Chain A
């Protein structure tokens, strides 16, 4: 996979992950072009685009578009399922996810993505394992906060 973009119906970028290095200028250009093309497409149209020399697979979930660029040899349908699996993961993690969750907690969305896809390849396809990894890291956060707050109390 070359990159993944999440953007809203209004064309606002919500998340971007580039697996192949691109210059900032190029990133902006690609994003702008792609957002325009995808938003212009009608719901009944197919989820695949041939765009420049890449294949783009996109899917809309409520107000969010998930959009992946893959290479010529890659399987379009499985990419669609990667998107779906990611949505499932987000949904499970946030408990029925919505766009606002992703806007305000985008770093979490990134963490989940990093556990699921690494370097552009599916890293862990078992939903349970991905969530386990995330929870572990999060647990740490909570214990740390409680520890910190108890410290504060002690000092006071």
Chain B
């Protein structure tokens, strides 16, 4: 730390010595606050303090209520109230008076009123609405102080939906003659931008003006906005790079007034802000980066004084240099700079040095080498934070050779640490390293044991899941697998023989599963079959095992009961848990009992060979199809998913227990209680009235109750029984490139002879040197210089075996999957060389399907809907586009895949720029020479269906015509209704505009293609495709006001709870609405607090409005539309979109 700071530090204690006269002297002795504070200091117990504050709060309550209290006294009361709040006691009675004080007090009282408001209230507080008028008045005041106060208050918290009310006035302040006002106005706008970006979109040009303000303070303030803007979309602000570079150059060159110097460094805050902006702008952009190299270098050079603040700039500068497009010379200087940090004796700088290293080793592991000794010192540092940072750094440089040492260090740390947050994080990292670089089985199992026992039940659930999957799926060699499993079993047996009380539940569960599954590998299993069984039984009876764990143990026991000894044991256990109160336990106990009594059943279920066979689980329960369709035919109610049942159950009761929120006056006046009670979707909140037209509820009842029930289930069950579902998933995955397949083992050649890395610096003791050589072995040396990105060169020991080749694992679905994806790529490769080639083979390969007639991937678990003549094959491609997110409209524009190329190149030029779906094969037909494919193009005003007729034979096709029939869709031909001739090996395209007449979830569009191979002999082939409502939805751009009007005028409404999506730092509401917007083409009109309004329309049809509100952890959605069936169908798609997200 610099001398200046040191001096301040040393001077302060004497100044701050608790000299009672110093501060208290300034306060009048009679002051009530003074008395209060003194009273509290004299107290000794927390209990007394509580009593005193209670008394004080009572006094405050009485005083604020008294009409005789003047504003001046009120101010004094407020100060006391703030004090009480700070001590952790609620002084909520004073909130409203704080607002009053801000409203009515003189300037000074106002100031305190605003302060109290900003300390008492959150921005979501409804009290704040009462402040809006005051703010509005003060903003327009002629008194500068009042304007300042109002702006200060606004920049701290302001109700989001009230921003439009004051926005024009705040904007106006941007041109105020006083710079302090301009500055505060800029910061207020920054705040608005943060809480409601779309509200200030129109004034981006004014931000530019602020950036060019003659006052450096205003300009600095505007950089906060720019940092945010540039972070969100660097592309849009590339043109400002030159300006930022110029400003930074001027600042670094000392062109600013001396006022802005901080410890003789020119405007450090400004510099850091600019460096951060430049980093975002230059990231992955060579051109832009080149503009800033000079100024970055200058910043590095200028910041040479030995003071904290220069280090702050240096640190930021290094970060920027490593973020922007790399330049070798600069990187070298930055690396040297990091060295200064790491080697600094000051602990803060050392910490940041480690941080910076962690950041840069990803790009060049060599950088860590010169600092080996320091890193090792830090590893044993007494400060846990430094230790933790060091481990983080080591984590980044781990490789197959140093993994044991590093993991050991991490585990050592974990044993000492008590912080949950870092434990969970670090445990995950250890597990990752162990899986990635493990040198041998024994080590791996031991390390994972430590992970499980240290991580406890707080760790990420995917750690045990991954571990078990790894054991189950195995690797390349059978022998290896056996050894690993045996190792695990042995070590667990050993563990169970000892004390188990300290083991976390999730570890016990892992142990039970592994023992149940692989105990038979033990050589002594044959001689003493009851051993493992006894150990598990002992565990079962221990008190610390949770019910969940007991279930795992019972399952394990079930798997183990094969020999006479274990059967006896099993029977014993079964009898004991036969009457357990836990239903799952009881069920398992029953199973165990039956199994132990029935030798035949045992033989079938627990055969030794059976272990290796993968059990096909029919998750769709298709064997029940017959029964279900019979029941349906006999008039049974269709299946409803649990959430829907619950929902309806809740509605039947009709009495909502949730409190009613704010309501518009209109809703109260027109809503009768009976309406509420009969309404099946009993609203939890009257925010906007549902019944302006009297009969609306009745109508929605009729329209909703029948359709909705069917909608929820239509996907899986139909009148005909089970609808084809499984093939969809299979096909959906096939076109994907096989990214999940691990890279081949041979990709990494690690030189083994790198144990001797030079260690500079003073002679360290032997032990440390040894540690260094073991820690840094293999680091960096072989990646000579890799500036861009980290080379992923890891010998993944535990590579997952490519699925599908396995016998013990990998469902048939998976295996078909991988074989298809490989055939898909193979086809893709061929395509690259022969793009010009035409013909059916290519187009079919290109789509990732084998010739459709003999489609092997079709598993039809139930009776097929008899509607389609095209049969199975026609169904698959449609399902493939409809069910997958890949084909979703929001994914547009779909990147042109090479495999799509041949047909897509025939897409009419006017449509090529538009969003479109992937190609689907339509018609197998009896004629191999004819192939139909279709593609949906989403136009703003229409859904265009483009059908490609490919003639794959040598002969010419004549009079090719397509006919569509559908009750719900209106199909009009745009072009190519009748093609006179399609030459051999060429493609004709036909375009149709499709409109959905009546909103429904899915619509079958049946078509017939007629053509003549030999003139005069017409032939025809039927085909069909499925279109879904979401293809016909377009965003409806309305303002909040218009929305409100429309809402009141629509009569059909439906209400439902949907699940919320959580994503990153977004609020769940925003994330959910964004997902819906992206997937369904909705328009998010506005988001206010925990409510959001969304609008959309049906193509050439009516609108539908959604009103969403976060309620506990679900989203209460209320849909309204002029047509009855639209909300129901849309709701179905919303549910689906959220389920897929």
Select A15's contact among B23, B86, B276, beta carbons within 8 Å: B86
The answer to whether B115 touches A110 (Cβ under 8 A) is yes
Which residues from chain A contact B37 at a C-beta distance below 8 Å? Answer: 103-104
A80 to nearest B CB, angstroms? 6
The answer to whether B23 touches A100 (Cβ under 8 A) is yes
Name B165-219 residues within 8 Å CB distance of A: 180, 183-184, 187, 190-191, 194, 217
The answer to whether A118 touches B155 (Cβ under 8 A) is yes
The answer to whether A107 touches B115 (Cβ under 8 A) is yes
Which residues from chain A contact B312 at a C-beta distance below 8 Å? Answer: 75, 77-78, 80-81
Select A77's contact among B33, B309, B422, beta carbons within 8 Å: B309
B16 to nearest A CB, angstroms? 3
- Closest-by-CB residue of B relative to A23 is B122
The answer to whether A48 touches B385 (Cβ under 8 A) is yes
The answer to whether A125 touches B262 (Cβ under 8 A) is yes
Name B269-306 residues within 8 Å CB distance of A: 269-270, 272, 276
A136 to B316, CA, bound (A): 36
The answer to whether A129 touches B180 (Cβ under 8 A) is yes
Name A102-156 residues within 8 Å CB distance of B: 102-107, 110-111, 114, 118-119, 121-129, 133, 136-137, 140-141, 144
If the complex has contacts A13-B86, A123-B221, are A63 and B16 also in contact, measured as CB distance less than 8 A?
yes
A46 to B112, CA, bound (A): 37
If the complex has contacts A50-B422, A126-B217, are A119 and B190 also in contact, measured as CB distance less than 8 A?
yes
Contact with A along B89-122 (1 / 0, CB 8 A): 0100000000000000011100110010011001
Select A104's contact among B24, B187, B260, B262, beta carbons within 8 Å: B24
Name A70-96 residues within 8 Å CB distance of B: 73, 75-78, 80-81, 84-85, 87-88, 91, 94, 96
The answer to whether B18 touches A100 (Cβ under 8 A) is yes
Select B22's contact among A14, A62, A101, A123, beta carbons within 8 Å: A101
The answer to whether B20 touches A77 (Cβ under 8 A) is no
The answer to whether B383 touches A119 (Cβ under 8 A) is no
The answer to whether A104 touches B352 (Cβ under 8 A) is no
> Is A34 part of the binding interface, using a Cβ–Cβ cutoff of 8 Å?
no
Name B768-808 residues within 8 Å CB distance of A: none
A99 to nearest B CB, angstroms? 6
B5-13, B941-949, B1023-1031, B1109-1117 - the one binding chain A:
B5-13
The answer to whether B107 touches A144 (Cβ under 8 A) is yes
> Is B145 part of the binding interface, using a Cβ–Cβ cutoff of 8 Å?
yes
Which residues from chain B contact A102 at a C-beta distance below 8 Å? Answer: 23
The answer to whether B262 touches A44 (Cβ under 8 A) is no
The answer to whether B12 touches A62 (Cβ under 8 A) is yes
A44 to B12, CA, bound (A): 18
Select A123's contact among B13, B122, B183, beta carbons within 8 Å: B183
Select B268's contact among A19, A78, A94, A101, beta carbons within 8 Å: A78
A96 to B194, CA, bound (A): 37
The answer to whether B217 touches A84 (Cβ under 8 A) is no
Total count of chain B residues near the partner, CB < 8 A: 83
A85 to B87, CA, bound (A): 26
> Is A39 part of the binding interface, using a Cβ–Cβ cutoff of 8 Å?
no
- Closest-by-CB residue of A relative to B20 is A100
The answer to whether B269 touches A104 (Cβ under 8 A) is no
- Closest-by-CB residue of A relative to B187 is A118
The answer to whether A84 touches B5 (Cβ under 8 A) is yes
The answer to whether B220 touches A62 (Cβ under 8 A) is no
A94 to B108, CA, bound (A): 19
> Is B348 part of the binding interface, using a Cβ–Cβ cutoff of 8 Å?
yes
The answer to whether B309 touches A78 (Cβ under 8 A) is yes
A100 to nearest B CB, angstroms? 3
The answer to whether B23 touches A103 (Cβ under 8 A) is yes
Total count of chain A residues near the partner, CB < 8 A: 72
A121 to B385, CA, bound (A): 26
B48 to nearest A CB, angstroms? 15
Which residues from chain A contact B88 at a C-beta distance below 8 Å? Answer: 13, 28
A45 to B387, CA, bound (A): 11
A12 to B268, CA, bound (A): 33
> Is B603 part of the binding interface, using a Cβ–Cβ cutoff of 8 Å?
no
> Is A2 part of the binding interface, using a Cβ–Cβ cutoff of 8 Å?
no
A132 to B352, CA, bound (A): 35
Name B336-355 residues within 8 Å CB distance of A: 347-348, 350-352
Which residues from chain A contact B16 at a C-beta distance below 8 Å? Answer: 61-64, 97-99
A36 to B9, CA, bound (A): 23
If the complex has contacts A21-B122, A104-B33, A137-B145, are A118 and B184 also in contact, measured as CB distance less than 8 A?
yes
The answer to whether B83 touches A106 (Cβ under 8 A) is yes
- Closest-by-CB residue of A relative to B261 is A126
The answer to whether A81 touches B18 (Cβ under 8 A) is no
Name B129-173 residues within 8 Å CB distance of A: 145, 148, 152, 155-157
The answer to whether A62 touches B217 (Cβ under 8 A) is no
The answer to whether A24 touches B309 (Cβ under 8 A) is no
A52 to B221, CA, bound (A): 29
Contact with B along A42-68 (1 / 0, CB 8 A): 101111111111000000011110000
If the complex has contacts A48-B385, A129-B217, A140-B107, are A119 and B191 also in contact, measured as CB distance less than 8 A?
yes
- Closest-by-CB residue of B relative to A110 is B115
B66 to nearest A CB, angstroms? 21
> Is B311 part of the binding interface, using a Cβ–Cβ cutoff of 8 Å?
yes
Which residues from chain B contact A104 at a C-beta distance below 8 Å? Answer: 23-24, 26-27, 33-34, 37
Which residues from chain B contact A22 at a C-beta distance below 8 Å? Answer: 122
Which residues from chain B contact A52 at a C-beta distance below 8 Å? Answer: 421
Select B82's contact among A19, A106, A136, beta carbons within 8 Å: A106
A24 to B19, CA, bound (A): 34
Which residues from chain A contact B45 at a C-beta distance below 8 Å? Answer: none
A33 to B23, CA, bound (A): 29
If the complex has contacts A98-B15, A98-B22, A144-B108, are A121 and B187 also in contact, measured as CB distance less than 8 A?
yes
If the complex has contacts A126-B217, A129-B259, are A78 and B348 also in contact, measured as CB distance less than 8 A?
no
A118 to B224, CA, bound (A): 11
A61 to nearest B CB, angstroms? 5
Select B190's contact among A44, A61, A121, A133, beta carbons within 8 Å: A121
If the complex has contacts A101-B23, A105-B26, A106-B86, are A133 and B15 also in contact, measured as CB distance less than 8 A?
no
- Closest-by-CB residue of B relative to A16 is B86
A123 to B694, CA, bound (A): 55
Select A96's contact among B15, B33, B191, beta carbons within 8 Å: B15
The answer to whether B15 touches A140 (Cβ under 8 A) is no
Which residues from chain A contact B83 at a C-beta distance below 8 Å? Answer: 106
Which residues from chain A contact B309 at a C-beta distance below 8 Å? Answer: 77-78, 81
A106 to B224, CA, bound (A): 28
If the complex has contacts A15-B86, A16-B86, A100-B23, are A46 and B308 also in contact, measured as CB distance less than 8 A?
no
- Write 24 A-B pairs (CB below 8 A) sorted by A numbering: A23-B122, A45-B382, A45-B383, A62-B13, A64-B16, A73-B276, A78-B269, A80-B348, A88-B8, A100-B19, A104-B27, A104-B37, A105-B27, A106-B82, A111-B115, A114-B156, A119-B155, A119-B156, A123-B184, A123-B187, A125-B217, A126-B260, A129-B259, A137-B111
Q: List 5 other contacts, CB 8 Å, given A73-B276, A118-B152.
A: A64-B16, A75-B315, A78-B269, A125-B270, A137-B145
Q: Enumerate chain B interface residues (CB-CB to A < 8 A).
A: 5, 8-9, 12-13, 15-20, 22-24, 26-27, 33-34, 37, 79, 82-83, 86-88, 90, 106-108, 111-112, 115, 118-119, 122-124, 145, 148, 152, 155-157, 180, 183-184, 187, 190-191, 194, 217, 220-221, 224, 257, 259-260, 262, 267-270, 272, 276, 308-309, 311-312, 315-316, 347-348, 350-352, 382-383, 385-386, 388-389, 421-422
Which 3 pairs, one residue from A and one from B, show the smallest C-beta to C-beta distance?
A: A100-B23, A62-B16, A77-B312
